[in-house]
Amino acid sequence: MRMTLAVAVLLALLPLGLPPYAMTLLTEALIMGLFAMSLDLMVGYARLISFGHAAAYGLGAYTCGNILLHTDIPLPLAVPMAGVFSGFIGIGIAWVCTQATGVSFSMLTLALAQLLYAVAFKWTSVTGASDGLAGIPRRPGPFGTTYFSTKIGFYYLTMACLFGSFLFARALVRSPFGAVLRGIRENEAKTLSLGYNTRLYKIAVVAASYILGGLAGALYAPFAGFANTELLFWLLSGQVLIMVIVGGTGTLVGPILGAAFFLLVQQQLSTYTDSWALFFGVIFIAFVLFAPEGILGLARRRRSVRSH
Amino acid sequence: MIGLNRRTLLASALASPVVLRHALGDTPIKIGMPVALTGPGGEIGAQMRRGAEFWAKHTNAKGGLLGRPIELVIQDTGGDPAACVRKAQDVVERDGCRLLYGMTYSSEALAVVPKLAEWNAIFMSSVNGDGRLTGSSLVPNFFRANTSGPMGTRAVSLYLRPAAYKGFFAIGMDYAWGHNSIGVFKDEVQRAGKNFIGDVYSPIGTKDFSTYIAKIRQSGADACFIVMQGDDNAAFLSQAKQYRLSDKVQLLTEVVDLNSIAATGEAAVGLIGSSRYSFTFPGEANAEFVEMWKKEYKTVPDTFEGEQWQAGLVLAAGITKAGSIDADKLRPALENIEIDSIKGHVKIRACDHQGEQQGFMVKVVKKEGFDKPIPELISTFAADRVTPGCGKMTYDS
Amino acid sequence: MDVLPFLVTQCLNALSQAALLFFLGCGLTLIFGIMRIVNFAHGAFFMLGAYVGWSAVHWTGNFWVALVAAPILVGGFGAAFELGILRRLYGRDGHAFLMVTFGLTLVMGEAIRLLWGVEALQVQMPVSLSDIVFILDEPFPIYRLFLAGSGVVVAIVIWQFLERTRLGLLIRATSQNAEMVHALGTDVRLVRSAVFGIGCGLAGIGGVFAAPMVTASLGMAPNAVIDTFVIVIIGGMGSFLGSMIGALLVAFVQVFGSYFFPDFAMAFMYLIMLTILVVRPGGLLGKEA
């Protein structure tokens, strides 16, 4: 708890000393971090490996984008509304996908996300099809305040969403509910035989994951002022899964670090060289070979080496 | 004499940028270019980059603008509008660019323009075709030096008026520019009292066009209008050849560029279309530009290289006139600015920031002295005939 | 155009596309069957095949040389990657393979861009195949007939290889029970290297076949990989016959779907995949996962 507070204070003080460019990057890193953390709820705690988590992100982004474009609902309200909507759809998606387990579950999530992608690609009136939704505004309010439309205000809004979500997710995995999830992760048959309706638990955790993932997408839309089908594409699903793995699954904090790492390295490399993908790819391969437990695992291993 | 001068200019341009910067003062004019260097639009992005680099080098060799050297900040967007917004934001916030000079896809440009006011940056478009950029989506800081999609389409339809074709089909890439240009074409065809049979759109990056080609054949049209560029264009033209589509249907295209011709080989011969720029355009200015280009790159300039150059000339004239790159000073300077470019006279109108310029129709032919087919000019239309009314995408007559 | 010629030519069209998809899907499913890994880089191997094919045609002027050289080189590269990197990762969970093959996709894509440039490259098809035939008075490219035929031939060869040869037997046995094969004294690691190489080589053949039709370009990989996934998932991961059925199904849906319902073709494909998975979670011919 003390650690969380310290990080929160640090992040809250950062805007005082950072140039606008770094602020933008940091905001984006926090959004991605939230997205990766939301997936960790499924992957790390219930071993529900989703290949289609972009669905949550895209749903959140399109919903928030449409709310902001077509209504006067202020930004700080539109974002959670979109998250909740994404969660509702998540229940339906979970209901379908949890009919299967293991690899089949992953494949179902991929199929559903791609189906949403295909629909978004043609549903011009809602999604703008391949052109996307451009010029998504940051509507002022509540009570007429324009604070959240500013760069710093938006950063604090993002930070608040991330910390709120983190506390919620941590409470969730530490609760009896989380204990059942871990039971499912280790041995689903046994948990089932203990009398738990494991499918219901799985649906619940997917829905929670979709709410948080949708929240991240909902923040992205007004952050970039833009949303398009790329936000639903399987490539993003693959990337976020990799962020979770890079950071370390089942840790909540790790995936946030993984996302930040992914984003920063990509951003920095691409400013120095056209061939950033080459180095980025090599980094991934090296990571798997030399840091199998992820960033957090690496940090812990070093700490334990030092303390010995 | 002129030849000698040019050579000395190029020689000094080859000097390292560091030396150059010191010679010209320490605060360069930074110009941001978020372009697609990878993905299906990568070839177009590469052309834009070459055109821009050549322009910057040429301008710096002449002493830069306002005594300051030009520095390009080029970033790869992969052709994704979301990535383009982020990269544009990067070059503005991190590198301090107040000028943007190119974006590859119209969808990328449409995503970026709402942000220009916030960034206080001017965007000079060099290739973006979608008519809405100077129409319903126009923002004060956007300018377009290039031939727009509606203008290219209009040139095609003006050329077609006396022709005997009766039924038209259209195929376009499934994004902003494709839909926009085909919409304009449909309007033009119908107003000419001819039959617009139907249209079909292929997603960006489509590889196999066989069903689309079957559809065009099935339609019974005797001419087909194509709105494609980059890899998609190359793939479509070469498959159209494989199915002998042109035996039955005259192919017309909105953009003829050398790269697609090179990628399709003989398949492109006989293709008729509007050209935004070709090294075969008449005039001394173009001949001189082509010579300079050949010296540097050992080949002739392609469509988007020429368009990028022209956009650079417009931008340079504006900056010189304004004496500043500040958006509030540069904007009025660019409005109504006129230059003589490689495509003839170009005037940026104040009302919708579109560059008024001639429309060109070319036919791809085989010619002595060239190892690949080249576009040959067959018709030219005056600027006031191809440029639409202010803020509009359609034509009245 | 009448209905019959239209149907016949479009079916042939679909068959030629199915052949391409089969080269990809069959390789991916073989690899999954033996190694239980999803090869994200499969599309990149396909693309590499197309580019190597271009170079072979460029240097020798002979398409048939390309057709032999490209799969060998691409397959060899795949086998080398298995020996150098993947081999260290067996025993680790599936995450590691996902990341490594994702990393490889990035590396290969960029390496190809550096080596061959960004322009789409046209591969000259052999003169004997570049003509058209008239099928019920409709022109149809001979090359596509050749492609469809090659798909059938390759399918038979692989099937016979799996059924009749010792390596084929080992592959089937390893996919059933790797420990047993190992216990019987066969080096399972060699079987894995071979299968990864063969799978990548098949993707490479697909690339060479595709290049004269659609040009070799940098956008090939991402499109190919998702279609391949769909095929393999529909057919059942690890099932050879399944990948064949999946390829046919996807090709016919794409061809006729994009003709009659261009707006819904893509959605329809995923809907089919979804339905099959809900009814049979392991895919049409797959084991229950």
How far is the CA of C103 from the CAs of A277, A284, A296, C28, C110, in angstroms?
Answer: 9, 5, 20, 17, 11
A·B CB contacts under 8 A: 69
Among the partner residues C104, C226, C282, nearest to A281 by beta-carbon distance? C104
Structural domain includes residue B110: yes
Tokens, residue B18: 């560091």
Task: Quickly state the pLDDT bin for B2 (edges 50, 70, 90).
Answer: very low
| Residues of chain B contacting residue C9, judged by C-beta atoms under 8 Å apart | 214
Residue C151 Cα to chain centre, angstroms: 11
The C-alpha of C163 sits at a distance from chain B's nearest C-alpha, in angstroms, of 34
| A131:B82 CB<8 A | no
| B217:C1 CB<8 A | yes
Q: Would you tell me how many other CB atoms lie within 10 Å of the CB of residue A217?
A: 33
Q: Is residue A125 less than 8 Å (CB to CB) from chain C?
A: no
The C-alpha of C174 sits at a distance from chain A's nearest C-alpha, in angstroms, of 20
| A267:B89 CB<8 A | no
pLDDT (0 to 100) of residue B7? 34
Instruction: Judge if B130 and B239 occupy the same domain.
Output: no
Among the partner residues B82, B137, B176, nearest to A230 by beta-carbon distance? B82
Task: Quickly state the pLDDT bin for A161 (edges 50, 70, 90).
Answer: very high
Mutate to test the interface with B, among C107, C130, C214 (most CBs of B within 10 A): C214
Q: Is residue A22 less than 8 Å (CB to CB) from chain C?
A: no
| C110:A277 CB<8 A | yes
Contacts by A63-68, CB closer than 8 A, 24 or more apart:
A63/A214, A63/A218, A64/A136, A64/A217, A64/A218, A64/A219, A64/A221, A64/A222, A65/A133, A65/A136, A65/A221, A65/A222, A65/A227, A66/A126, A66/A133, A68/A136, A68/A137, A68/A138, A68/A139, A68/A221, A68/A222
Segment A272-286 mean pLDDT = 83
Mutate to test the interface with C, among B171, B174, B208, B209 (most CBs of C within 10 A): B208
Which A positions 40-99 lie with beta carbon below 8 A of chain C? Answer: 49, 96, 99
| A111:C95 CB<8 A | no
Which of C145, C156, C142 lies closest to C244 in space, CA to CA? C156
Instruction: Judge if B350 and B365 occupy the same domain.
Output: no
pLDDT (0 to 100) of residue B14? 38
| Residues of chain A contacting residue B175, judged by C-beta atoms under 8 Å apart | 129-131
Higher pLDDT, B29 or A6: B29
pLDDT (0 to 100) of residue B25? 56
Cross-strand partners of B170: B199, B225
SS3 assignment, position A205: helix
Structural domain includes residue B244: yes
| Residues of chain C contacting residue B213, judged by C-beta atoms under 8 Å apart | none
Question: If you count them, how many residues does chain B have?
Answer: 397
SS3 assignment, position B172: strand
Residue indicated by tokens 């959240």? A148
pLDDT (0 to 100) of residue A86? 94
- Torsion sign, CA atoms A117, A119, A122, A123: negative
Checking if the pLDDT of B341 tops 60, the result is yes
| A20:B93 CB<8 A | yes
B·C CB contacts under 8 A: 97
Q: Is residue B191 less than 8 Å (CB to CB) from chain A?
A: no
pLDDT (0 to 100) of residue C288? 53
The DSSP letter of residue B123 is E
Q: What percent of chain C clears pLDDT 90, i.e. is strictly above it?
A: 28
pLDDT (0 to 100) of residue A220? 95
Checking if the pLDDT of C218 tops 70, the result is yes
B86: closest chain A residue by CA: A224
Tens of pLDDT, residues B186-228: 988 888 888 899 999 988 878 888 889 888 988 888 889 999 9
Tokens, residue B157: 């339809």
Residue indicated by tokens 């976020």? A240
At B343, which CATH number? Answer: 3.40.50.2300
Which of A169, A172, A193 lies closest to A183 in space, CA to CA? A193
pLDDT (0 to 100) of residue B4? 35
Structural domain includes residue B18: yes
* Domain encompassing residue B194: 150-280+359-386
Tens of pLDDT, residues B71-123: 999 888 888 888 899 889 989 988 889 999 989 988 899 999 999 988 999 99
Residue indicated by tokens 């990762």? C89
Tokens, residue A125: 């009136």
Structural domain includes residue B91: yes
Q: Is residue A187 less than 8 Å (CB to CB) from chain C?
A: no
Q: What percent of chain B clears pLDDT 90, i.e. is strictly above it?
A: 27
pLDDT (0 to 100) of residue A152? 86
Which of B174, B152, B105, B91 lies closest to B133 in space, CA to CA? B105
B76: closest chain A residue by CA: A274
How far is the CA of C149 from the CAs of C142, C153, C160, C254, in angstroms?
Answer: 10, 6, 17, 20
Among the partner residues C6, C17, C218, nearest to B208 by beta-carbon distance? C17
Tens of pLDDT, residues B18-37: 444 444 456 899 999 999 88
Among the partner residues A99, A234, A288, nearest to C89 by beta-carbon distance? A288
Residue B326 Cα to chain centre, angstroms: 25
Nearest 10 degrees: Cα torsion C51, C52, C54, C60: 170
Average pLDDT of the residues of chain C: 86
Exposure of B218 by Cβ count < 10 A (0-12 exposed, 13-18 middle, 19+ buried)? Answer: middle
Is residue B230 a contact partner of residue B255, using CB atoms and an 8 Å limit? Answer: no
| 3-state helix vs strand vs coil in chain B, percent to 5 | 45, 20, 35
pLDDT (0 to 100) of residue A204? 92
Instruction: Judge if B243 and B376 occupy the same domain.
Output: yes
Q: Is residue C113 less than 8 Å (CB to CB) from chain B?
A: yes
Segment B271-288 mean pLDDT = 89
User: How far apart, in whole angstroms, are the C-alpha atoms of residue C114 and residue C108?
Assistant: 10
Higher pLDDT, C54 or B244: C54
pLDDT (0 to 100) of residue C47? 94
Residue indicated by tokens 């943007």? B100
Higher pLDDT, B277 or B241: B277
Is residue A191 a contact partner of residue A183, using CB atoms and an 8 Å limit? Answer: yes
Mutate to test the interface with A, among B72, B85, B132, B137 (most CBs of A within 10 A): B85
User: How far apart, in whole angstroms, are the C-alpha atoms of residue C65 and residue B240?
Assistant: 26
Instruction: Judge if B54 and B34 occupy the same domain.
Output: yes
pLDDT (0 to 100) of residue C35? 79
Tokens, residue C265: 């073709």
Work out whether strand C132-135 and strand B374-381 pair parallel, antiparallel, or are unpaired. Answer: unpaired
Q: Is residue C17 less than 8 Å (CB to CB) from chain B?
A: yes
Tokens, residue A49: 């490996």
- What value of ipTM does the predicted structure carry? 0.81
A137: closest chain B residue by CA: B114
SS3 assignment, position B36: coil
Tokens, residue B262: 């090179």
Which of A128, A48, A113 lies closest to C270 in space, CA to CA? A113
Instruction: Judge if B115 and B8 occupy the same domain.
Output: yes
Tens of pLDDT, residues C192-207: 888 899 999 999 999 9
Among the partner residues C109, C266, C273, nearest to A111 by beta-carbon distance? C273
Instruction: Judge if B95 and B142 occupy the same domain.
Output: yes
The C-alpha of A72 sits at a distance from chain B's nearest C-alpha, in angstroms, of 18
Is residue B308 a contact partner of residue B52, using CB atoms and an 8 Å limit? Answer: yes
pLDDT (0 to 100) of residue B13? 37
User: How far apart, in whole angstroms, are the C-alpha atoms of residue A257 and residue B155?
Assistant: 54
The C-alpha of B370 sits at a distance from chain A's nearest C-alpha, in angstroms, of 33
Cross-strand partners of B379: B361
Is residue B92 a contact partner of residue B67, using CB atoms and an 8 Å limit? Answer: no
HSE at residue B191, side-chain half, CA atoms within 13 A, is: 13
Structural domain includes residue B392: no
A51: closest chain C residue by CA: C98
Among the partner residues B203, B217, B234, nearest to C120 by beta-carbon distance? B234
Instruction: Judge if B205 and B316 occupy the same domain.
Output: no
Q: Is residue B94 less than 8 Å (CB to CB) from chain A?
A: yes
Instruction: Judge if B6 and B142 occupy the same domain.
Output: yes
A·C CB contacts under 8 A: 116
User: How far apart, in whole angstroms, are the C-alpha atoms of residue B90 and residue A6?
Assistant: 29
Instruction: Judge if B194 and B208 occupy the same domain.
Output: yes
Tens of pLDDT, residues A242-270: 889 888 888 888 899 999 988 888 888 87
Among the partner residues A20, A24, A228, nearest to B81 by beta-carbon distance? A228
Which residues are within 8 A (CB) of C159 and not within 5 positions of it... i.e. 6 or more apart? C240
Structural domain includes residue B318: yes
| A270:B37 CB<8 A | no
| B85:A21 CB<8 A | no
Work out whether strand B70-76 and strand B344-348 pair parallel, antiparallel, or are unpaired. Answer: unpaired
Work out whether strand B250-253 and strand B338-341 pair parallel, antiparallel, or are unpaired. Answer: unpaired
Segment C212-217 mean pLDDT = 83
The C-alpha of B111 sits at a distance from chain C's nearest C-alpha, in angstroms, of 22
- What is the C-alpha R_g of chain B? 20
Is residue A50 a contact partner of residue A42, using CB atoms and an 8 Å limit? Answer: yes
Segment A220-229 mean pLDDT = 91
B202: closest chain C residue by CA: C262
Cross-strand partners of B29: B70
Average pLDDT of the residues of chain A: 87
φ, ψ (nearest 5 deg) of residue B382: -65, 155
Task: Quickly state the pLDDT bin for B6 (edges 50, 70, 90).
Answer: very low
Q: Is residue C122 less than 8 Å (CB to CB) from chain B?
A: yes
Which of these ranges, A30-34, A67-71, A177-181, C175-179, has the smallest mean pLDDT?
Answer: C175-179
Segment B47-61 mean pLDDT = 92
Which A positions 255-284 lie with beta carbon below 8 A of chain B? Answer: 267, 270-271, 274, 276-277
Tens of pLDDT, residues C75-129: 999 999 999 888 888 877 777 888 888 889 889 988 998 898 877 788 888 888 8
Structural domain includes residue B118: yes
**What is the number of structural domains in chain B?**
2
| A249:C274 CB<8 A | no
Which of these ranges, A57-61, A75-79, A253-257, B15-19, has the smallest mean pLDDT?
Answer: B15-19
Instruction: Judge if B103 and B197 occupy the same domain.
Output: no
Structural domain includes residue B242: yes
User: How far apart, in whole angstroms, are the C-alpha atoms of residue A284 and residue A290?
Assistant: 10
Q: Is residue C222 less than 8 Å (CB to CB) from chain A?
A: yes
pLDDT (0 to 100) of residue B307? 92
Segment B246-257 mean pLDDT = 85
Which of C85, C71, C73, C91 lies closest to C39 in space, CA to CA? C85
User: How far apart, in whole angstroms, are the C-alpha atoms of residue B174 and residue B198?
Assistant: 15
Instruction: Judge if B266 and B380 occupy the same domain.
Output: yes
Tens of pLDDT, residues B134-173: 988 889 999 999 998 889 888 888 888 888 888 899 999 9
Sequential DSSP letters for A210-257: HHHHHHHHHHHHHHHTEE-GGGGSHHHHHHHHHHHHHH-TT-SHHHHH
| A224:B107 CB<8 A | no
pLDDT (0 to 100) of residue B152? 87
Longest dimension (CA), chain A: 62
Residue B3 Cα to chain centre, angstroms: 29
Instruction: Judge if B166 and B66 occupy the same domain.
Output: no
B217: closest chain C residue by CA: C1
Q: Is residue A291 less than 8 Å (CB to CB) from chain C?
A: no
Tens of pLDDT, residues C233-245: 888 888 888 889 9
The C-alpha of A73 sits at a distance from chain C's nearest C-alpha, in angstroms, of 32
Segment B45-61 mean pLDDT = 92
Checking if the pLDDT of A35 tops 90, the result is yes
**Preceding peptide of A142 cis, ω within 30°:** yes
| B207:C132 CB<8 A | no
B46: closest chain C residue by CA: C118
φ, ψ (nearest 5 deg) of residue B384: -75, -15
φ, ψ (nearest 5 deg) of residue A188: -65, -40
Which B positions 23-62 lie with beta carbon below 8 A of chain A? Answer: 37-38
Checking if the pLDDT of C130 tops 90, the result is no
Checking if the pLDDT of C52 tops 80, the result is yes
Which C positions 177-206 lie with beta carbon below 8 A of chain A? Answer: none
CA angle B39, B43, B48 (to 5 degrees): 115
Work out whether strand B122-125 and strand B99-100 pair parallel, antiparallel, or are unpaired. Answer: parallel
How far is the CA of C140 from the CAs of B214, B268, B325, C146, C255, in angstroms?
Answer: 10, 19, 58, 11, 15
How far is the CA of A124 from the CAs of A27, A57, B82, C26, in angstroms?
Answer: 29, 19, 17, 36
User: How far apart, in whole angstroms, are the C-alpha atoms of residue A50 and residue A240?
Assistant: 10
User: How far apart, in whole angstroms, are the C-alpha atoms of residue B382 and residue C66?
Assistant: 50
pTM metric for this prediction: 0.86
